[in-house]
Amino acid sequence: MAGPGQLSGDGEHRPLVGPELLDAMFYGLDVGVYVVGLDGRIRVVNPRGAELIRRAPEDIVGADAHDLLHRDSDGGVGPREECPLLGALADRQPTRTQETWSERGDGTLMPVGWLMAPYEAAGEYAGGVVTFFDFSGREADSLRREAHLAALENLADRLSLVAEVTTVLTSTLDVQEALRRLNRLVAPRLADWAVVDLLDGEEVLRVSVVHHEGGRHVSKPELEGPIPPLSWASRSPLQRVLRGAPAALVGPENYAGQPDSAIQKVQQDLFRVTGIHSAIMAPLRASHGVLGALTLGRADQPNAFGRDELALVDDIARRAGLAVDNAQLYDRQRRVSETMQRHLLTPLPRVEGLEMAARYQPAPLGSQVGGDWYDAFVLPEEVTMLVIGDVVGHDLEAAAHMSQVRNMLRAFVWDRREPPSVIVDRLDEALVHISDARMASLILGRLEPPDAGEETWRLQWTNAGHPPLLLLGADGSAAFLEDGQGTLLGTDMAPPRSDVLTPLSPRTTIIGYTDGLVESPDEPLDTGLERLRQHTEELAGLPLGDFCDRLIERVRPPGAEDDIALLVVQVP
C-alpha cells in the first residue's frame, strides 16, 4: 500500500485516505508527524511529534497549527498569509522547507524542517500530512563546526603572528630597533600597549613603549629610559618576571595599595597613565638567564587576556629573548672588533707640509674589521712611506692576516733602503712561507720631499695587483696612475716588478683606496672607477677629512659587500 506522496502498485498517484493514513503513521518513527486539515487545524499527531512539540497529544489535536506552532526566528507569530504551511495547503502541492521555527510547549523555539504531502478523504482533497524534524542537533553541529573553524583560523593567525615576529626579530642586529619593530607588530593584534624592559645587571632600561592609537603606532619617549633598579625583595609582577618567574596575567589590582619598591611605584604610574586594565608580562629569556621583560597591555581593547594568550605571548617573548641575546653578542663582538681595528690601523704621522686623512669602513655584513688597510710612516731620511693594501677576506681572520702582512712590510721597509718593487718582491717571497695570508694586493710608495731650491715632491711606487692610485691636481682634474701594474702577492709566481717615479706639482692630492669603494657585483669595475674620478673632481677643495667622508658616501656602490680603506695625502 502506497503512503502519502508515493506511487501505488500500479504506478498511479493515489493519496491515502481514511484509516489507511493512520496506519501509515508509524508510532515508532523517530520523526514528528501530524495531519492538518484545510482549515489549518491539526487532526492527529504521532507520539514522537507530541514529544518534539513538548505538549500532550490532547493539547495539540484540534489546535490551529499556525497559531500553536509557527514562529518567526525572534519568536513572534507571523501573518497567516505568510505562513509557508498554509501556503502549501492552498497550493495542494508537496512542499518541503528547512527554514522555519516552531514553538514548544515550554515556550522555547525549535528549528524545524518539514515536508507536507497532500491527502484526500472520500475522494476529495482534505489537507496535508506534515512530517517534521528537529534541527536543533544539526544547528549545534553547525555551531561546533563554526567554532572549530574559528579556532583553526585563530590558530593560523597566531602561527602567522609568530612567523612574522621571528622574521622581524631576525631582520636586524640592532637590539632596540628589533624591539621597536616587535612592539609595532603585536599592537594592535594582541594589545594596544607594548612595553619592553631590558636588564643590565640590576639596572633596568625601558627601551620601548608603543601605543596603538588612531590607527597608528605612537612611541611614548616620556615613558622610556632608565627606571629604578631591580628589587630582590619586591613581590610585584614585573620584578618577579625579571628575576625569572614565568609569564603572568596582570591587572591594576596588582598595583593597588602602597608600593613596596621604587620600581613598583613606576609600574603603578604606568598602569594609571596608560589605563591598562589587563596585561601579560613575559620574561625575555636567553641561555644564561633573563634579559628583560615584554609587557603587553589592553586599555582600549575591552577583553581581558586569557590563558591561551598567555602561552602565545610567552612564546613571542622567548623568541624576542633569543634575538636580543644574539644582538647583544654581535654588539660585544663589534666592540671587540672596533678595539682591534684601532690597534691595527695606527694613527697617521705628522709630516711637515703634508696633509693626511684616512678612513676605514667595514663590510656591511661582516665584522668591523677586515683585510683592507692603510699605513703611513716616516723613515729617518725624512721619506714618508705610503701603503694601501687588501688581504683577501673581510672578517676577523682576514684582519689577522692583514696584521701579519702589514708588520712584515714595515720590517722590510725599515731594514733596508730599497726601491718599493724590491721590498714588495721580498714580501711576496716571505708571504708564501711564513704567513697565513693567502693573497694580497697593495701599493707601496716612497714620498720624498723636494730637493733644496725645488718645489716638486716625488712619489716612487709599485703596484702589486691593486686598483690604481688617483691623483687630483691643484686645477681640480683627476687622473689614475695606471703604470707599474704587477701581480698579486701570494701567487708564488715571482714575476718581475717595476717602480714608477711620478713628480707631484704643488697641492697635488694622492688618493689610495681599496676595491670595496669602486667594485660591485652588479656593475663593471670601470663604472666604479669612473664614478670615483668624477666625484673626486666635484669634491676638490674640501678639507681632507670632509673629502674622505663625502667621497665614500657618494662613490660606494649600492649593495657593496667589501670593506673599504681610504688614504688621502696632499703635498704642499
Confidence of residue 3 (pLDDT cuts 50, 70, 90): very low
CA distances from 131 to 15, 75, 94, 519 (A): 15, 21, 11, 85
| Mean predicted confidence (pLDDT) in 33-42 | 91
pLDDT at 467 over 90: yes
pLDDT at 26 over 80: no
Looking at residue 291, its amino acid is L
Domain 153-333 has CATH 3.30.450.40: yes
Residue 440 C-alpha cell reads as 694580497
How far, in Å, CA of 477 to CA of 16, rounded?
113
Beta carbons within 8 Å of 44's beta carbon, 6+ residues apart: 22, 25, 34, 35, 61
Intervals of CATH 3.30.450.20 along the chain:
19-134
Comparison of pLDDT for 250 and 329, the residue scoring more: 250
Looking at residue 277, its amino acid is H
Maximum average pLDDT range among 95-99, 370-374, 375-379: 375-379
CA distances from 551 to 50, 181, 390, 531 (A): 94, 32, 19, 10
Among the listed residues 442, 346, 440, the one whose alpha carbon sits nearest the alpha carbon of residue 393: 440
Which tens digits make up the pLDDT trace of 174-198?
777 777 777 777 888 888 999 999 8
Comparison of pLDDT for 536 and 431, the residue scoring more: 536
For residue 15, the model assigns a pLDDT of 44
Intervals of CATH 3.30.450.40 along the chain:
153-333
Q: Which of 254-268, 388-402, 547-561 has the lowest mean pLDDT?
A: 388-402
Which tens digits make up the pLDDT trace of 275-306?
999 999 999 888 788 988 999 999 998 989 88
Q: Which of 21-35, 321-335, 415-429, 454-468 has the lowest mean pLDDT?
A: 21-35
Confidence of residue 547 (pLDDT cuts 50, 70, 90): very high
Strand 457-464, strand 485-486: pairing: parallel
pLDDT at 7 over 50: no
pTM: 0.52
For residue 13, the model assigns a pLDDT of 39
Instruction: Return mean pLDDT, the chain.
Output: 83
pLDDT at 63 over 50: yes
Q: Sheet of 509-513: strands edge to edge?
A: 355-361, 564-570, 509-513, 469-472, 478-481
Comparison of pLDDT for 342 and 46, the residue scoring more: 46
For residue 17, the model assigns a pLDDT of 44
**Phi, psi for 394 (deg, rounded to 5):** -145, 70
pLDDT at 100 over 50: yes
- Calculate ∠ Cα 339-321-240, nearest 5°: 115
What angle in degrees, to the nearest 10, is found between the helix axes of 396-415 and 420-434? Answer: 130
Q: Which residue has the cell 674622505?
A: 548
pLDDT at 9 over 50: no
Domain 346-570 sits in CATH at 3.60.40.10
Domain 19-134 has CATH 3.30.450.20: yes
For residue 249, the model assigns a pLDDT of 94
Comparison of pLDDT for 397 and 406, the residue scoring more: 406
How far, in Å, CA of 203 to CA of 228, rounded?
7
Q: How many CB atoms lie under 10 A from the CB of residue 379?
A: 13
Among the listed residues 195, 404, 191, the one whose alpha carbon sits nearest the alpha carbon of residue 293: 195
Intervals of CATH 3.60.40.10 along the chain:
346-570
For residue 369, the model assigns a pLDDT of 63
